[in-house]
Structure 1
């Protein structure tokens, strides 16, 4: 079993709750109220800047050019098509992209910042792996349903499924699996703690989205 698979087993309850959630089920079957999707998108959009900074920091700490290239290409997706998706969705839903951060959003922003400032490649990867792998796992079962949904629902699925995104997740997992081999027990404990914390934050974020974030006007 790979290191990332082992890490997932250490927080299985939160992982399953985050990847098999009522919020994403409703998103995928088209029954999610527009107001809940707007609140979710407003909060999720707050992650983009810190995520870009975290990914850029990971790129700077990657061991070789071979390790850098896939992350650099993914950085272009986040700052290009994904950012554009948010802006198009806000326009279509007549919503502002500007919203104060909810406490669940603040918690996730905080661990992304902690990872970025750690100076440790494996810590950065532990958060990046969770952020992308959780989304691949919830979105993949719904990939075939995306085309029949309004784009602000369907494209959120397609951005997080398919061979291209699966390749990104495989790359990130591979980087963490490789880094894990060179870590001592204390360093591994730190990775495990950060990984579990990130998964708990994902679960809390989806729980709050399902309850309904306050929509900024």
Structure 2
């Protein structure tokens, strides 16, 4: 029987297929995505990762033992995508201040709120499950999208093709499977819902980036 994280991945496959087939990623691969759209995405992703980091920090207080605490602290202290953002923002014609001062999109706001609310109301299991779809789907871009030959987008795809998120995915899957092994039916269902909701928000994030989503008022 597959472990719990694998079961979650299998259940989320219809959503993840929509992610990997999204025109944003197709146009990244063939180089036709407007640079302005990519710049919008970078700024939104910068803001999202801030929310991701805050959620991980909240998870520290939920660690059941010292080893888990150390492992979670390592996740907080190693934001592997930050240096990539700094470089790509400049090449997309944006500054770090542009990203920091951008208005978080409706989809981005809802996604981050979902993660923070899960961490506020639940234990480490649902919190880890809410965090896992982001690194896992990005890690799989190496197979689903592959390397772009575009001079800017190729730098972005190379980060994932070369497997820089592999350690992050293994760590978060480990947290999920560890917590699932000790969880009862109610906790397992909370973990499942957290994972599926985050998977849906992952799709919505790409959709919002592609359309450069703005608040209506």
Instruction: Could you tell me which runs of 5 or more consecutive residues in structure 2 were left unpaired when the two chains were aligned.
Output: none
The equivalent residue for 2:173 is 173
Matches within 5 A, 1:181-196: 181-196=181-196
Q: Indicate if the aligned counterparts of 1:43 and 1:101 stay in contact, CA closer than 8 A.
A: yes
Structure 1 residue 121 and structure 2 residue 120: aligned?
A: no
Q: Indicate if the aligned counterparts of 2:139 and 2:163 stay in contact, CA closer than 8 A.
A: no
Tell me, in whole angstroms, the C-alpha distance in 1 between the residues paired with 2:161 and 2:195: 21
Label 1:163 to 1:94 Cα distance change in 2 as closer, same or farther (>3 A): closer
* Offset at residue 25 of structure 1 (A): 2.4
TM-score by length of 2: 0.84
* Offset at residue 111 of structure 1 (A): 0.8
Range that drifts further, 153-162 or 184-193: 153-162
Higher normalized helix content (fraction of residues): 1
Q: Indicate if the aligned counterparts of 1:140 and 1:162 stay in contact, CA closer than 8 A.
A: no
Label 1:139 to 1:72 Cα distance change in 2 as closer, same or farther (>3 A): farther
The equivalent residue for 1:105 is 108
Instruction: Could you tell me which runs of 5 or more consecutive residues in structure 1 were left unpaired when the two chains were aligned.
Output: none
Give the SS at the match of 2:104.
coil
CA RMSD of aligned residues (A): 2.3
Q: Indicate if the aligned counterparts of 1:40 and 1:213 stay in contact, CA closer than 8 A.
A: no
Q: Indicate if the aligned counterparts of 1:53 and 1:116 stay in contact, CA closer than 8 A.
A: no
Range that drifts further, 175-184 or 10-19: 10-19
* Offset at residue 17 of structure 1 (A): 0.9
TM-score by length of 1: 0.84
Structure 1 residue 31 and structure 2 residue 32: aligned?
A: yes
Label 1:68 to 1:155 Cα distance change in 2 as closer, same or farther (>3 A): farther
Deviations 1:1-36 (A, max 9, x none): 111111122232112112332212221332221011
Aligned length in residues: 209
Label 1:163 to 1:92 Cα distance change in 2 as closer, same or farther (>3 A): closer
Label 1:29 to 1:177 Cα distance change in 2 as closer, same or farther (>3 A): same
Tell me, in whole angstroms, the C-alpha distance in 2 between the residues paired with 1:156 and 1:68: 31
